[in-house]
Structure 1
């Protein structure tokens, strides 16, 4: 018997409700029903566009794309984890500009036979992470594709401040970081070896914990440059060094190694500082400050800005990859 138009010819169990069965608008209704929008959302989902407040007349905007098999695996992470991770990657970028998030837009592409419960879990994760900074999902789009792809656009406000860019670092500044470093890389190393514990590092890979409030706090304190550590500290600080026309030198001994990373590194034969220098997806914040500036809570000095170019560790070039690069 041939399948009906709403029945998928796949391995999906017959009693599983799929995206093809409910359709684009049915899915949108499911993931937006009874959601409470914050005050910044003047008009939410349901019209041709959303309306989001822009208190100081400027909008900070960024976008990030997560592709199944490249950025996440559903046998390693739950749909809720993936949703939180997708939101976190963008919300951290807003924070890295010294801004405060105001809303998220979500583009979703998925196969027709994707179970709706997977997509509802994804939406739950997006809403949960957005709720940490009091924003909502204000709109988006759904399309059919051969694999699951999540694209998130985050909006934010500078609250009257100037944006903290990558180009403001000056010789004499200190380099400081806030948030976890190396945890996600350690978790990925554990997962790729077929293990699921220790849970703390595996969960750090599945669900990052960016220090969102630290971005605006750094801006208020006088940060001269700032960046979200998404691809690896060395790789991301290289963008700051290039944009600012300076050299950044990190001190290896400045990094306090958490006991859990030390234990995992010992078990896997990896120096945990290498994870902290080159591992991505923790979404910590790295910033430069004038030397006399009192650092905001949570920031730790790990290096200095000097004359020259590039990024060094203890005055020497780092051997090996400096972080994640998509096309190499």
Structure 2
């Protein structure tokens, strides 16, 4: 009987931002606009990289995959969040909540591996330019991509195994707009300390480990750039890294704040704001960061619009 009582939670209630209806409608409009901008912008980056031979290089291969992950992550979280604005119950099934959480963290973890690989790509391009084509060949790029997904899966494995036996017997209200692992675990009626510890260790190893690899790569990059005799050469070399550095700063700043710090005493409203930055704002900005700072992408975009305009005129 006790086991049956502890298995009664079949759905969760996503409380969201809990504001006045007028404020929620305003947030809905802003988030919808950002979501659509993110979808259009990232999809455009993917199409440009796939369709323009000038962008068929390892750097843009990983940029396109990063854009794909952005589309997938925002689509995992944002549609349900928008639908809940006009929902009377704001309910999500137990299976739906579990699925959302798994995909969010799997895709998000993969992004950090991709960002670390992109820093390695820049390191090879600037520090070993003569060997770049040989090292970063097509086979290597595909293996690195597959390794990113495998690494993300393995980083989630232990926390997922330790979370599996956790029982939920009520309450079922999640103080968030999606099924983030931490607020979900707070609703458990069994011991969650092993799962919380595994979450913290896994997040720390993933975030700080990949950040360390990125930091080491850029240390060598900066040293190499400073040795370039001409100011124009230094500026050209550094310009190829600016977009990536900007994205890394946005991602790691918000993610470390969310997942690699003590949970005790943390404000859920601040966590929600940081999650919005990480899940909605940054994916929306990425296409602009890579297109506005990159001459090849801008040239490809102009040519694509010219071809499209020519087709319309015919």
Task: Quickly name the TM-score band, shorter chain normalised.
Answer: under 0.3
The normalised TM-score by structure 1 is 0.26
TM-score of the pair, normalised by structure 2: 0.27
